[in-house]
Amino acid sequence: MTAYQELERRHARIAAIGDALGILGWDTQTIMPEGANDGRAEQTATLSVIAHELATDPRMGDLLAEAEGDGSLDAWQRANLREMRRHHIQATAVPADLVEATSKAVSVCEMTWRAARAKSDYAKLLPSLTEVLARVREGAEALGSVMGISAYDALLDSHDPGARAERIDALFADLSGFLPDLIGRVLDKQAAAPAVTEPQGPFPVEKQRELGVRMMERLGFDFRRGRLDVSLHPFCGGATGDVRITTRYDEANFTDALMGILHETGHALYEQNRPAAWLTQPVGQSRGMAVHESQSLLMEMQACRSAEFITWLAPVVRETFGGEGPAWEADNLRRLYSRVERGFIRVNADEVTYPAHIILRYRLEKALVAGDLTLPDLPGAWNDGMAELVGVVPPNDRLGCLQDIHWPGGGWGYFPSYTLGAMTAAQLFDAARTADPEIVPALSRGEFAPLVNWLRVNVHETGCFYASGDDLLTAATGRPLDASVFKRHLERRYL
C-alpha–C-alpha distance, residues 328 and 200, integer Å: 10
* Sheet of 226-230, strand order: 226-230, 242-247, 236-239
Distances (CA, A) of 472 to 125, 165, 287, 450, 464: 39, 20, 8, 20, 9
Q: Could you tell me whether strands 226-230 and 236-239 are parallel, antiparallel, or unpaired per DSSP bridges?
A: unpaired
- Mapped onto helix, strand or coil, the DSSP state of residue 383 is helix
Phi, psi for residue 148 in degrees, rounded to 5: 75, 35
The distance of Cα 305 from the centroid of its chain, to the nearest Å, equals 18
Phi, psi for residue 374 in degrees, rounded to 5: -100, 150
> Taking Cα atoms as reference points, which of 381, 387, 346 lies closest to residue 367?
381
Give the single-character DSSP code of 427.
H
Rg of the Cα trace of the chain? 22
Which amino acid is it at 248?
Answer: R
* Three-state SS annotation for 227-284: EEEECCCCCEEEECCEEEEEECCECCECHHHHHHHHHHHHHHHHHHCCCHHHCCCHHH
Task: Indicate which residues carry an active-site annotation.
Answer: 264
C-alpha–C-alpha distance, residues 212 and 205, integer Å: 10
Other C-beta atoms closer than 10 Å to the C-beta of 93 total 19
Instruction: Provide the strand spans (E) within 119-259.
Output: 226-230, 236-239, 242-247
Q: Residue 239: CA atoms inside 13 Å, Cβ hemisphere, count? A: 15
Counting runs of H as helices and runs of E as strands, what totals does the chain give?
A: 20, 3
C-alpha–C-alpha distance, residues 14 and 280, integer Å: 8
C-alpha–C-alpha distance, residues 84 and 342, integer Å: 44
C-alpha–C-alpha distance, residues 234 and 236, integer Å: 7
C-alpha–C-alpha distance, residues 339 and 352, integer Å: 9
Max distance between CA atoms of the chain, in angstroms, equals 71
